[in-house]
Amino acid sequence: MAINKKASAGPVKDSASECVAQPASADPSKAVLKTSRRDFLRAGGMLSMSSLMGAGALMAQSDDTKATVEWAEHFQKNYRLMTQKEKNEARLRLEKRYSAEYGKQVSVDTADAQPGVLMGYALNIRKCIGCRRCVHACVEENNQSRGKQRAGEKIEWIQVLRMERGEFSADKMNHGYPDGLGIQVGGNAYTPAGQILEGQYHYEPEAVPEKDATYMPIACMQCEKPPCVKVCPVRTTYREADGPVVIDYNWCIGCRMCMGACPYWARRLNVTNPVLPKEEMNPVTHYLGNRPRMRGVVEKCHWCLQRTRQGRYPACVEVCPVGARKFGNLLDPESEVSLILARKNVFRLKAELNTFPKFFYFYD
Partner 1 sequence: MLTSFVSDYMRYVLKGGTKFYAWMGSLAVLIVGMMYVFYLQNTDGLIVTGMTSQIHDGLYFANLVFLVGVAAGAVTIVFPAYVYHHEGMHKVTVLGEMLAIAAVCMVMMFVFAHMGRPDRLWHMLPIIGIFNFPHSMLAWDVLVLNGYLILNFICGFYYLWVKYTGGKINNRFFMPLVYVSIVWALSIHTVTAFLIATMPARPMWFHSMMPIRFIVTAFAAGPALIILAFIVIRKNTKMWVDDSAIDLLATIVTWCLGLAIFLTMSEIVVELYARTEHANGLYYLMFGLHGLTNLVPWFWSSVILMVGSFLLLIFPTIRRNYKLLPILCFTTFAGIWIEKGMGLIVPGFIPSPIGEVSQYYPSFVEVIMTIGIWACGFFILTILLKGAIGILLGDIKYSGAKAVVTK
Element housing 252 (H / E): none
165 belongs to the binding site for partner 1 (CB under 8 A):
no
The distance of closest approach from Cβ of residue 330 to partner 1 in the complex, given in angstroms and rounded to an integer, is: 24
161 belongs to the binding site for partner 1 (CB under 8 A):
yes
Give one word for 255, left, alpha or beta, with left for phi > 0 and alpha for psi -120 to 50.
alpha
Compare residues 56 and 166 and give the one whose CB is closer to partner 1: 166
CA distance 364 to 361: 11
233 belongs to the binding site for partner 1 (CB under 8 A):
yes
Compare residues 267 and 307 and give the one whose CB is closer to partner 1: 267
* Neighbouring C-beta atoms of residue 209, cutoff 10 Å: 16
Interface pick for partner 1 out of 47, 49, 67, 196 (rule CB under 8 A): 196
Compare residues 77 and 127 and give the one whose CB is closer to partner 1: 77
- By DSSP bridging, strand 237-239 and strand 325-329 are unpaired
Q: What are the strands, taking DSSP E only, across 131-282?
A: 159-164, 213-218, 237-239, 245-247, 268-269
Please enumerate in sequence order all residues whose Cβ is within 8 A of that of 273, keeping only pairs 6 or more positions apart, or say none. 294, 295
The distance of closest approach from Cβ of residue 37 to partner 1 in the complex, given in angstroms and rounded to an integer, is: 34
* Neighbouring C-beta atoms of residue 346, cutoff 10 Å: 15
263 belongs to the binding site for partner 1 (CB under 8 A):
yes
CA distance 39 to 107: 19
Compare residues 23 and 357 and give the one whose CB is closer to partner 1: 357
The piece of 178-186, 293-301, 314-322, 337-345 that touches partner 1 (CB under 8 A) is 293-301
The helix/strand/coil state of 123 is strand
CA distance 272 to 116: 39
235 belongs to the binding site for partner 1 (CB under 8 A):
yes
CA distance 295 to 152: 11
Interface pick for partner 1 out of 140, 153, 240, 242 (rule CB under 8 A): 153
260 belongs to the binding site for partner 1 (CB under 8 A):
yes
Interface pick for partner 1 out of 201, 347, 356, 363 (rule CB under 8 A): 201
Site string for partner 1, 54-83 (x = CB under 8 A): --------------------x---x--x--
353 belongs to the binding site for partner 1 (CB under 8 A):
yes
225 belongs to the binding site for partner 1 (CB under 8 A):
no
The distance of closest approach from Cβ of residue 229 to partner 1 in the complex, given in angstroms and rounded to an integer, is: 8
Start-to-end C-alpha separation, the chain:
35
The piece of 13-21, 41-49, 146-154, 336-344 that touches partner 1 (CB under 8 A) is 146-154
The distance of closest approach from Cβ of residue 251 to partner 1 in the complex, given in angstroms and rounded to an integer, is: 6
Compare residues 26 and 252 and give the one whose CB is closer to partner 1: 252
- By DSSP bridging, strand 245-247 and strand 325-329 are unpaired
256 belongs to the binding site for partner 1 (CB under 8 A):
yes
261 belongs to the binding site for partner 1 (CB under 8 A):
yes
272 belongs to the binding site for partner 1 (CB under 8 A):
yes
Compare residues 255 and 341 and give the one whose CB is closer to partner 1: 255
DSSP-assigned beta bridge partners for residue 42: none
DSSP codes, 130-175: ---HHHHHHHHHTT--B-SSSGGGB--S-EEEEEE---B-GGGTT-
Compare residues 198 and 279 and give the one whose CB is closer to partner 1: 198
362 belongs to the binding site for partner 1 (CB under 8 A):
no
The distance of closest approach from Cβ of residue 122 to partner 1 in the complex, given in angstroms and rounded to an integer, is: 20
Say if CB 299 and CB 293 are below 8 A apart.
yes
Reported residue count of the chain is 364
Cis peptide before 263 (omega within 30 of 0): no
The distance of closest approach from Cβ of residue 261 to partner 1 in the complex, given in angstroms and rounded to an integer, is: 5
Binding site for partner 1 (CB under 8 A): 74, 78, 81, 150-153, 155, 159, 161, 195-201, 218, 227, 230-236, 251-257, 259-265, 267-273, 295-298, 353
